[in-house]
Chain A
Amino acid sequence: MQRVGAIALNTFREAVRDRVLYNLIVFALLLMGTAILFGQISIGVQKLILVNLGLTAMTFFGLAIAIFIGIGLVYKEMDKRTLYALLSKPVRRYEFILGKFCGLALTLLVNILLMSVGFFLALYYVKRGFDAADLPLFSAIYFIFLQLLLATALALLFSCFSSPVLSAAFTLGLFITGSFAADLRELSEALEAPWLEGLMQAVYYAVPNFSNFNVITSAAHGRAVPGALLWGNTAYGALYIGIVLLASMLIFHNRNLK
């Protein structure tokens, strides 16, 4: 575990030194702008706008980091041959994959935490206080983090066997498809051709169901996230991430590092 930790911390350090956390400045400016710009509207509407904009921005800033760093996690080390010296040490290949994933997960966690602080400060500025209706926002942010972990695992998987451009396209494609997973299911039910229905069902079950993680709108309205959804999404995310990481490890284990 010490080796995984060392690789993870080094990945985190790389992200920080690559000025990845600079996105926080943009995020902060966006929130401040929103809070001031919509300062004249009634508090209820202002909160709705702030929550929707803030959490959506949090998702996309995080997604940009997950994808653009994730796709280079393994590829860059192979391309620049930094891996050679690393794997000649007593490091197992699966430890490398796990370390890389944990490193980016830590980067995203720090990022999300800092963005959350900014977000709640902006919310406080708008509402001049917090109440029970704000509690679902924590669940929404937790789900955003789960989505980002899922996207990271996917980017890492593609990074094990394809170029960064293709990896980015695949990950983004899956994110978009997965965000419309619920629509895919509805579409499959509406289709008349059985094979097409079957195909849609298969795609629905295969792609990561990102749509289940999106509770931003209901959280903005102060509606509590059901416990079943919390546990369900946690279990689903953990299982999906586990499977994707396992696939990454298998692919990477069998690769010749030419």
Chain B
Amino acid sequence: MAIVEITELTKDYLRGFWRKRPHRVLDHLNLSIEEGEIFGLLGPNGAGKTTTLKLLLRLIYPTAGTARLFGRPLGDIDAHRRLGYLPEAPYFYDYLTAREFLDYCGQLFGYDKVERRRRVGDLLERVGLVEAADVALRHYSRGMLQRVAIAQALINDPDLVFLDEPMLGLDPVGRREVRNIILDLKARGKTLCFSTHILADVESLCDRVAILNRGKLHGLGTLDEILPLKAQGSEVLVGEASPALLEALRPLADTVHTAGDKLNLLVADAKLYPVIDCVRQNGGRLLAVNPVRVSLEDYFFQEFGTEKVPDLLDKE
């Protein structure tokens, strides 16, 4: 069952000082998100990802088109009882502590004091903020704020969670934690929709993705359907490589990069097994073999030819 249905959703902003002209940031978007899936909105900055999320959350109003959440029209307050939202680069009231802020969020859902205490306690534990729970948010680091943001998005145990660039500005540990939270939510049967411009996040998490560029939908489906694997190629990582192994591999690989005793090879599929045999015979250690996928950047260059990849400052 589709939890989110978007039909011909369009958003124009008026630009210019004297003569205002419409600037289209989202152009007749059609897509639906099924119950229980992790859906990724993928695209460069200015693609319309945040605009789409803001339209769904009635933070901005559409110029044309409609959308439904849980079968209800946009703006229906009951739909908001069942959803959570993590804004991009979140900022909260810096005079509140995390516990107070989450309690405030709980009040907005009408929970009584006992219920709020239970939910806030659970969430603080889940996002690893128990020790800092009573510290004012102005003393929080970027990563800690992101955890608070995740906690507030989950205060109502939502069925549908929108996450706008959830990994933005996080260190590797933070990224892994957020990734685990997302996977945990999926395991609990929740539906997630998150926007990102980082392909790796999508690869490791999403069931389906929509690729947006300049407000238009350019692809919808699984990542394999949209971004084809690069023709017959793999990236091979080899450890404990001796000079003899290096020399033996050179004629087999398309490219060879060395880093200490590690080798990073780009190998055509036809030569993959000879390379693996060569590593084994010469006492090397096979660390990883990854199929090489077209990068998002490559995808955009392929799709739009020599057209410049959208400007980072192009406002959504």
Using a CB–CB distance below 8 Å, which chain A residues touch chain B? 2-3, 6-7, 10, 13-14, 17-18, 80-92, 254, 256-258
Q: Which residues of B contact A88 (CB under 8 A)?
A: 57, 59, 80, 83-85, 87, 162
Task: Choose among A10, A80, A254 the residue with the greatest number of B CB atoms under 10 Å from its CB.
Answer: A10
* Min CB–CB distance A248 → chain B (angstroms): 18
| Beta-carbon contact of B85 and A6 below 8 Å | no
With A and B bound together, what is the CA distance between A229 and B54 in angstroms?
49
> Size band of the B side of the interface?
20 to 34
State whether A3 and B108 are in contact (beta carbons under 8 Å apart), knowing that A87-B59, A88-B57, A258-B60 are contacts in the complex: yes
**Contact string, B210-252, partner A, CB cutoff 8 A, digits 1/0?**
0000000000000000000000000000000000000000000
* Min CB–CB distance A22 → chain B (angstroms): 15
Task: Choose among B54, B59, B109 the residue with the greatest number of A CB atoms under 10 Å from its CB.
Answer: B59
B90 at interface, CB cutoff 8 A: yes
With A and B bound together, what is the CA distance between A257 and B156 in angstroms?
23
The 8 Å CB contact of B107, one of A3, A83, A254, A256, is A3
**Contact string, B63-91, partner A, CB cutoff 8 A, digits 1/0?**
00000000000000110110111010111
Q: Which residues of A contact B84 (CB under 8 A)?
A: 88
| Beta-carbon contact of B57 and A87 below 8 Å | yes
Q: Which residues of A contact B162 (CB under 8 A)?
A: 88
State whether A82 and B57 are in contact (beta carbons under 8 Å apart), knowing that A88-B80, A89-B105 are contacts in the complex: no
With A and B bound together, what is the CA distance between A86 and B54 in angstroms?
13
| Beta-carbon contact of A81 and B107 below 8 Å | no
* Min CB–CB distance A252 → chain B (angstroms): 12
**Quick one: closest B residue to A81, CB to CB?**
B91
**Quick one: closest A residue to B87, CB to CB?**
A84
The 8 Å CB contact of B80, one of A80, A90, A256, is A90
Beyond A81-B87, A90-B77, A256-B61: 12 further Cβ-contacts under 8 Å?
A10-B104, A13-B96, A81-B89, A82-B93, A84-B57, A85-B90, A85-B153, A87-B58, A88-B162, A90-B108, A257-B59, A258-B13
| Beta-carbon contact of A90 and B78 below 8 Å | yes
* Min CB–CB distance B172 → chain A (angstroms): 26
| Beta-carbon contact of B95 and A84 below 8 Å | no
B191 at interface, CB cutoff 8 A: no
With A and B bound together, what is the CA distance between A167 and B8 in angstroms?
38
**Quick one: closest A residue to B315, CB to CB?**
A258
With A and B bound together, what is the CA distance between A85 and B89 in angstroms?
11
**Contact string, B47-64, partner A, CB cutoff 8 A, digits 1/0?**
000000010011111000
State whether A92 and B77 are in contact (beta carbons under 8 Å apart), knowing that A6-B108, A10-B93, A85-B152 are contacts in the complex: yes
